[in-house]
Structure 1
Amino acid sequence: MINNILHNRVMKEVIIESKLIVYENLEQLPEDIIMLMEKAFKARENAYAPYSKFHVGAAILLDNGEVITGNNQENASYPSGLCAERTAIYYAGSQYPDAKINKIAISAGSTSKINTEPIPPCGACRQAIAEYEIKQKESIEIYFMGEKGNVIKSHSLANLLPLVFDKTVL
């Protein structure tokens, strides 16, 4: 009986694809995104990262025209710090609870080397972005890069976190 059950099992392979746009440099971006990325650069300069020496800046454009910035904030009690993306998202949610997040620009780099590879949001930040994308029922454009070089654009968080954990499973 057990052999029959095992032989009759159906396995299904699922392929998940992500479509991203890669810009060779900042100058190829639309002007509004260049402005947003410049705000992310400025925020990155103010990061407090004495332990990792890894500075991240994020800038969020809300549908009301407000731009919110954030940077990573560390402390000696790892992992009690907070990433740039979540700092900005939670501030936006706190101060502008009815506004929608249209776009996020992220820039990251180390004080020990120049990062030229695009650095995407970490898993915790992806989950936070997912929460707001689901809440507002609209995609959030995400642009990310190192300190210079290529910029990657995702039309939605779903490209970066395709199997999202959300309130529907609770």
Structure 2
Amino acid sequence: MSSDVPGFELPLRLLLGFRVLIDELHAELARQGHPHARPLHGFVLQAIGAGGTTAVELGRLLGVSKQAAGKTVETLERVGYVERTVDPDDTRRKIIRLTPYGMDVLARSARIFADLRARWAAELGEERLRALEADLRKVTPPDMFRLDMPGWFGSL
């Protein structure tokens, strides 16, 4: 069975849909007081999580080297999204933690994504959007919170 649509269009359309959502997210984040937030920062902040992590663990979660993770942490520290603290169980280890500003960007991102989804539902219809989401669940692994995309794309 042949198709008039070339096979390479599907991944490009999926990536373009992702890009549209991410670009709109970051434009709104900038308006809401987060002008320095970048697309890869979201993966990093999610990987750090509420409990914090080390640079070694962060690199593993992101699929990048400890050095690449450390460089990104330095950037996030300058912006004010994270801080490094001493591990109370081992003073030689540094724990990377989200600051209140870092937690704020994640909370705002969640609300903005909900608004963007609502806009897509208004454009496509709620039923069609739910069907699209259900179909994507059928053809993708159940673990949708993979954070190793930076490493998969090549690095931070």
* TM-score, length of structure 2 as denominator length: 0.25
Larger relative helix fraction: 2
Larger relative strand fraction: 1
* TM-score, length of structure 1 as denominator length: 0.23
